[in-house]
Amino acid sequence: MEMDNNSQMNFDEAYTVSYGENSVEYGYVAGDNRLVYIKAGMGGGFEGDRSKYLRIARRLNERYGCSVVSVSNPAPLPIAIDKAIIDDLIHRHGIHGSEISFFGHSNGGVKGLELSCVGIGFKKMVLVNMPLMINFHKTVDRIKATPKTRIIAVYGEYDPSYKYIPFLERKGLSNVEIVKFQGVDHNFEGRLDEFVELADRLMS
């Protein structure tokens, strides 16, 4: 795995990680030894559309003092790359392993649950419009495998997974809180401020 420093915009550090013929990019904002890991949806960049992930990173750092990393989501991306990024930040920046939280949108939420099953013990997770219609049983199994992690599952009324929420509710998962937004689509179109503010739930 090869890393090249490409600091830009308003992240304190920005990197490109090469794996084979592909690469993943991530931006880091330095704070205390708590880390929030942001994962974009499938094909999404680490800054996010209209810099939404950069806004989240700066908001969390300025309001709560934590460190934040935002990671792109190219396809295909082995989950081992995400884990390696976290391990590297733990060692280079003194991140406390028990103080890592996660924010993921769409497929980024799926990636977060995968990470939670390979040794990353997230304290809290906010999963926004994570697909429920694809491998639902695998999603439930991953949630059950992380009973100590508080999971906040957020769904907009017009997201394709919204109609599957009752199936998730019937599972009676005690560590999952479901939050519903009326009039909101998959990408929170026209509701960007509310999307950014969702990350505050990681700190409460």
Give me the pLDDT at residue 14, please: 95
Region of 101 (left: φ > 0; alpha: ψ -120 to 50; beta: rest) is beta
Total Cβ atoms within 10 A of residue 58: 16
What pLDDT is attached to residue 77? Answer: 87
Which of 148, 143, 145 lies closest to 130 in space, CA to CA?
143
Q: pTM of the prediction?
A: 0.94
Q: Going from the N-terminus, what domains does the chain have, and what CATH number goes with each?
A: 28-202 (3.40.50.1820)
Decide if 127 contacts 156 (C-beta within 8 A): no
Inter-helix orientation angle 79-93/107-116, to 10°: 70
Per-residue pLDDT tens listing for the chain (204 residues): 444 444 344 899 999 999 888 899 999 999 999 999 999 999 999 999 999 999 999 999 999 999 999 999 998 889 999 999 999 999 999 898 889 999 999 999 999 999 999 989 999 999 999 999 999 999 999 999 999 999 999 999 999 999 999 999 999 999 999 999 999 999 999 999 999 999 999 998
What's the confidence (pLDDT) of residue 111?
A: 96
Which of 74, 69, 80, 70 lies closest to 23 in space, CA to CA? 74
User: Rounded to an integer, what distance in angstroms lies between the CA atom of residue 48 and that of residue 17?
Assistant: 18
